[in-house]
Amino acid sequence: MTVIANPILRGMYPDPSICRVDGTYYLVTSTFEYLPGLPIHASTDLENWQLVGHAIVDQFDYTTVGDSRGMFAPTIRHHDGLFYIACTQMGAGEASGNFYVTATDAAGPWSAPVLLPDARGIDPSITFSDGRAWWVGCREVVDPTFDGETEVWLRELDLDRGQLVGPETVIWTRTQYRAVWAEGPHIVERDGWFYLVTAEGGTSFEHSVMVARARDLAGPYLPCPRNPVLTHRHLGSGVEVQNVGHADLFEGDHGEWWLVALATRPIDGHHVLGRETHLARVTWEDGWPVVNAGLGRLDAPVARPGEWGGVPSIGDFLTVRGVADFAEQIGGEVVLTSTGEAFGSQRPVAALLRRLTSTECTVSITLDDIEATAGLVLRQSDDAHARLELEPDSSALRVTLVSRVGEQSTRATAALPRGAVTLTATVSPRGIDWAANAAPLGSTPLSDLSSETAGGFVGTTFGPYVSGPTGATARFTAWSQLDRS
């Protein structure tokens, strides 16, 4: 029996969507301003997940993409031998808007984007029925009666021409009176019914999962009498898992049903890891889904301490607004070459980042041969991050602890001898303790890296970076992360 060890994907893996092909489950999540975009994880048992590829590598120009823009809310489906991912690109100039990509293998390569300029709104989905493809999207109402009033719409997609065709139908607005942001729509078929799964309440504390059904794909859709089928908002602000919503419903190998959804694990009202992917069992009563029958909420998080180290492949890292052409792997080391951009400049900076997966962990890097400003950063956004920064001079290295929240920045400085330097950040609910070569350099509040402080939709990432004059380098020789919970 599948053991649910939530979250099944830890750290910034929001807006999950899933499909099953020949006994393997494929799950995709949002990445916003980070590249490579739209990671695809695979599993044969829903317990163990492996990253197999990314749908977006270099198909878009990210240089103008702002914080928490970029790739919004993908949907993955499989039809007639092809994988399809529908998504929204925000902030990429003329390429912004809704699109889809295809691949014969979920690991890639994925196609060039097929842009759909007629598809207004966000959070698109593709559904297939009777040999035809349909595009499902959500958007704000043109003349809303309240802020955040949205609607879900449907239109046929001609796959041969890559165009929307035929009439457009609005199939849903909201379940509850004046409910905001009916978004993340997915349609699945079961026993002659079409089930529409949407989120409501916005992707924060009021988030929820709603379900409606219809005999015809175009409706009319009737709401589940037990809506919301999943939420944690009624559990109060002290519950350990919050902001539950944006779900996808799917059938397992043996006729069982499941739901993936995003949720957060806050500390004192602040979440820093981002929105993570969770899994729940689904049973059916009177033709309606029941999530975790007898519990009515997501299973509690399971502690999974772990450790890894060394220097992973460059392909295992995230970058901000650009591909990792500033990094070169030479044996067991990585050389970072400055792009000429300072950290926080809202331009592509030479930084290799990974998702923070625990608020009880220690992360460290070792840098050597430092020709330019370099260091270790914990990033929530350009305007909300903390970093230990090394600057070389003739005989020493100046190390500075920088904490930036909005327009405010604080600094503390010390000196170190030239040579290899290990920079460490020890993360706990009490805050982040920083050290260089084991010498303490100060602390910063953990809440500074939360979405509640910084805004936006992403979680915290961390890793080495180099800035300063274009072409200056630093060598990254060791890396480790120890999760204590």
- Active site residue: 15, 149, 389, 483, which one? 15
**Long-range contacts of residues 96-104, Cβ cutoff 8 Å, at least 24 apart:** 98/122, 98/124, 98/135, 98/137, 100/124, 100/126, 101/55, 101/56, 101/59, 103/55
Taking the C-alpha atoms of residue 279 and residue 263, their distance in angstroms, rounded to an integer, is 10
Told to judge if 130 belongs to the known catalytic residues of this protein, a careful annotator would answer no
Beta partners for residue 334, in sequence order: 329, 476
Q: What angle do CA 111, 21, 315 make, to 5 degrees?
A: 50
| Residues whose CB falls within 8 Å of the CB of residue 168, separated by 6 or more in sequence, listed in order | 153, 154, 155
Give yes or no: 251 in active site: no
Q: Report which secondary-structure segment, H or E, holds 309.
A: strand 306-309
Q: Looking at 33, 156, 183, 389, which residue is catalytic?
A: 183
Which of 411, 413, 344 has its CA nearest to residue 382? 344
Query: How many CB atoms lie under 10 A from the CB of residue 162?
Result: 13
Question: 253 CB contacts (<8 Å, ≥6 apart)?
Answer: 20, 23
- Numbers of helices and strands, H then E, in the chain: 1, 37
Cα torsion for 350, 57, 247, 114, to the nearest 10°? 140
Q: Helices (DSSP H) in 311-461: which residue ranges?
A: 451-454
Among 380, 358, 387, 362, which residue's Cα sits nearest to residue 465? 387
**Closest residue by Cα to residue 303 from 1, 2, 10:** 10
Compute the distance between CA of residue 351 and CA of residue 314 in angstroms, rounded to an integer.
Answer: 11
Tell me if the bond preceding 7 is cis, omega within 30° of 0: yes
Q: Is 57 exposed, middle or buried (0-12, 13-18, 19+ CB in 10 A)?
A: middle
Distance CA 72, CA 265 (A): 21
Query: Would you please indicate which residues are annotated as catalytic (active-site) residues?
Result: 15, 183
